[in-house]
A and B are shown apart, each in its own frame.
Chain A
Amino acid sequence: MDPKISRRSFLKGTLAAAGVAGMSALPLPKSARAAGGQELATLIDIRKCIGCEACVEACKDVNAPKFPEPEKPYPKMYPSRVKVEDWSDKRYTSDRLTPYNWVFIQNATVKMKGEERTLHVPRRCMHCQNPPCADLCPWGAAFKLKNGITRINSDVCLGGSKCKDVCPWHIPQRQTGVGLYLDLLPAFAGNGVMYKCDRCYNRIEEGELPACIEICPQNVQQIGPREEILQKAHQIAKEINGYIYGEKENGGTNTIYVSPVPFQELNRAIEKGPGKPHLKPVENTMEHADNLAKAMVIAPFAGIAAAVGKIYKTIKDTGNSEAGHDENR
């Protein structure tokens, strides 16, 4: 797979939109429309990653202006079970996800064709198609863009960490001492701001590639319309007799991994824990809610039907009662 083609097709799409819009800086929905009205997905070919961490560094450099600069000392929190989460002195940590590290490399030593081999897996937000972090955020601080990027608005986030709890991979990470909560009830509500990969939404707006994709010397990643990316993923998987992760996980994500070994094996081999997401199968977390939403369409009709039944019974009873009166006269 020639990565230049991916870049070319991606740029071609955004430039086409620019032509239509007559603007050099593209608003995101236009970018999404440029991609055939589809969400943009990234393809991560695990075979190609050498673990050089160029993506990790590029992400840090490009997104540094978005990183938190907390005010110290932090407000005392009530109740005391609310703990400060401070990464500001550990901002160069690169072996896990933190508010200052939105992508990192997981290493997995696995057996391939009888030989031990170490595979490297770049990990960051999966950008789910139906993201529970955005669906369940009570403030709208987390949201999904039409082009398939899930973002957290750091100006609005109160750092309640709900997005991290409901994320099947617990991706977003919290930094205390920054954000809107300081102006509200710093001791009693909120605890900072949640941070995670925003897939360089601002670079995409300008028709540029996300930093991690652009910098990669091995062309591990590609970006494009999801359908196209999935086709490529299946093609590679077929060629190498490999495996795909992200197509169906959590109902489908916009980060698609292709691996020469099963993801169960990779999951066993990687280090897991806080800031180090698993690679297990994930059911569609929003599916039950979506089904209940359908029930909401039926509910008013059921209510009307019940009322009509009651009215019919009332009229019938009144008629019988009046007939009884007539007979007694």
Chain B
Amino acid sequence: MMKTADTQVIAQPGRKIIFRLYTLTWIVLAFTGFGQMPIFKRYYISDIPGMAWSADFFATHYIHYLGAVLLLGLIAFAAVDYLVLDRRRYRLSGAGLVRIALLAGIVVTGVFRVLKNLPDIVFSPGATMFIDIAHLGFMMLYLLAVLCFAFTRSGWLVPRSGGL
């Protein structure tokens, strides 16, 4: 099987752990994000043994926040790592740019949502709703994009011409 730029990069020492952590973070974020809607109890998810916590809105909220902490750390790590170590040999693919644009949307709306939740910070009702719906929208688009890219095997990076 032909190795993509991504698999070559991920194969580097330590990167596999980061990639797995990133995937796990997204699974946690997506699950607890959907758990912000009152659906897990309604649709029996919390009845599954060991899943009772999923109906606790504070639990899913804390875990979602923890996931966000991890995601922000991983994004910063990956950005610096790429800019310093990989940029000369690899460039971002179109799929990578789409991922980054959607990620930026998720992160920015998420940051505003967290700010809104702090005491003493009040957004207008319209802005609050826009942020909520945009956050959900970016997330749905990101998931859709990741599924499409998995199908088309489009990674984040492509080798620069003459880079390899």
B66:A292 contact, CB within 8 angstroms? yes
Are B73 and A302 in contact, with the CB atoms below 8 A?
Answer: yes
Q: Taking CB as reference atom, which chain B residue is nearest A252?
A: B119
Cβ-defined contact, A79 with B44, below 8 A: yes
Assuming the A-B contacts A138-B132, A303-B75, are A308 and B57 also in contact, with contact meaning beta carbons closer than 8 angstroms in the complex?
Answer: no
Chain B, range 48-97, C-beta contacts under 8 Å to A:
57-58, 61-62, 65-66, 68-70, 72-81, 84-85
Q: Could you mark each residue 24-64 of chain A with 1 if its beta carbon is under 8 Å from any beta carbon of chain B, else 0?
A: 00000000000000000000000000000000000000000
Q: Which residue of A lies closest to B35 (CB)?
A: A138
Q: Which one, B80, B114, B116, contacts A307 given CB within 8 A?
A: B80
Inter-chain contact B117/A304, CB cutoff 8 Å: no
Tell me if A140 and B81 are in contact (CB < 8 A): no
With A140-B132, A296-B114, A311-B85 already in contact, the answer to whether A79 and B43 are too (CB < 8 A) is yes
Nearest B residue to A314, CB-CB:
B85
Q: How far is the CA of A33 from the CA of B71 in the complex (A)?
A: 38
Report A262-301 residues with CB < 8 Å from chain B CB: 285-286, 288-290, 292-293, 295-296, 299-301
Q: Identify which of A1-9, A84-92, A115-123, A155-163 touches chain B.
A: A155-163
Q: Which residue from chain A places its CB closest to the CB of B42 in the assembled complex?
A: A82
Q: Are A304 and B76 in contact (CB under 8 A)?
A: yes
A189 to B34 Cα, complex, angstroms? 13
**In the complex the two chains form, is B84's CB within 8 Å of A311's CB?**
yes
Taking residues whose C-beta sits less than 8 angstroms from the other chain, chain B's interface range is: 35 or more
- Find out whether the CB atom of B72 lies under 8 angstroms from the CB atom of A166: no
What are the residues of chain A within 8 A of B27 when measuring CB–CB?
Answer: none
Interface of B is mostly: helix
Taking CB atoms, residues of chain B closer than 8 Å to A144 are 122
B163 within 8 A of A: no
Complex Cα distance A189/B73, Å?
Answer: 35
> Counting CB contacts under 8 A, is A165 at the interface?
yes
For B77, B79, B85, which residue has the most chain A Cβ atoms within 10 angstroms? B77
From 115 to 172 in chain A, residues with beta carbon under 8 angstroms from any chain B beta carbon are: 129-130, 132, 135-136, 138-141, 143-146, 151, 153, 156, 160-162, 165-166
Q: Does A306 contact B (CB under 8 A)?
A: yes
A72 within 8 A of B: no
The residue that A303 contacts in the complex, of B14, B66, B76, with Cβ under 8 A, is B76
A310 at the interface (CB under 8 A from B): yes
Residues of A whose CB lies within 8 Å of any CB of B are: 79, 81-82, 129-130, 132, 135-136, 138-141, 143-146, 151, 153, 156, 160-162, 165-166, 189, 251, 285-286, 288-290, 292-293, 295-296, 299-304, 306-308, 310-311, 314
Chain B positions within 8 Å of A, measured between CB atoms, are: 14, 36-39, 42-44, 57-58, 61-62, 65-66, 68-70, 72-81, 84-85, 111, 114-119, 122-123, 125, 128-133, 136
Closest 7 pairs (CB-CB, A-B): A303-B76, A140-B129, A307-B80, A160-B38, A303-B73, A303-B77, A300-B76
| Contact sample, A vs B, 9 pairs, CB 8 Å cutoff | A81-B42, A82-B42, A138-B36, A160-B37, A289-B62, A295-B65, A299-B76, A307-B84, A310-B77
